[in-house]
Structure 1
């Protein structure tokens, strides 16, 4: 079974701003119903929902809280019907500032768990809340957001990279378990994006260096990553699961 994007109901976590907002915008542009999840960015999320129209809604939930996620999914289902598609983009508070990062002398369990809980446990909670309806329908699309720092930790953001590595493992193992139900699970991994709140502290010289290092000669934008996410939700990817697509202008190879 395949379902066109304009017939899907899409939950995007961490969608109040940055990459998540770009992903929500891309799905709305293609005619999907979109749930804009946010944790703290209420004003931005509600403003985005207003701009995108009445086929979108902004709903608050901290993805590290399974009960809050379940309530959000119940509200969304009452409003729009069963969720068919999940994009897990939520990111714990983080700044891509190499000078301020934790190195091995300052890295502690709290840094690691903050990233892990949002990336990995958040994905678990969202998937557990949405797969019953997907299984019933015999169709589902789950997309996680990773990073090209797996391949090229040019700046060793240790806790962030560890959490995204675990999320890639989850993506592949969930893909194996859910494939028989018509549910695909894939990852899209961007590089440093120009520009999101998380990359606002990145010096311009770093953006310039990355642009010079890519095959396309530019820094990838949130809108470009969002379009790649659409591929994994589209009928064109119906035979693809457990994969990690790197979208960084050709900076690194898979």
Structure 2
């Protein structure tokens, strides 16, 4: 495993990459409403990323055909935008987006309500988001990587939710996916020790039902095996001497 420790200059570039990505998510979140297509979201997302001086890092990544991963309801991640997929009142939609700024990647995901959603769906979104914050309480120099994993999974499982095991968070920097892998569930070992300068993309993916997932025939879209709703929340963070810095969330 080769975990890169970022220099002060690299951290500044990643900080700016994250700041720009937060702007993209803010605009996309305001755009979500019944009647738009998932392709509308992708087109706006790519336009925003490029207008800010970024490059969409998902576009053509291992063949992925879009700039924004748009996953609706039982789709966990990597949904492919489509002009025929129209958001309906009561849906939930997860947007996973990233960009490259001066060679440095940022990565963040949010799950949004479409119109008026059920209290159960809102609770899933809220718990998934909070599980991220429970995890990064342990994202401090001197702790171990899997302290984060255990905190995320332990929190979500208290609500009876399924924590996806087939997909994990990751290191990030000059590449979208770097070492280490960051599971969202407890591990037998504590993992590597965290040190200042590590940059991580931490991303709980939580299902209302069981944890099991499967891939659709497009080889990208991951769905819950039992058809239950799924939510996703992710930020790019920096390990410091104190509290972690969240590059993709300023407020």
TM over 0.5: no
TM-score normalised according to structure 1 size? 0.31
TM-score normalised according to structure 2 size? 0.31
- Greater helix content: 1
- Greater strand content: 2
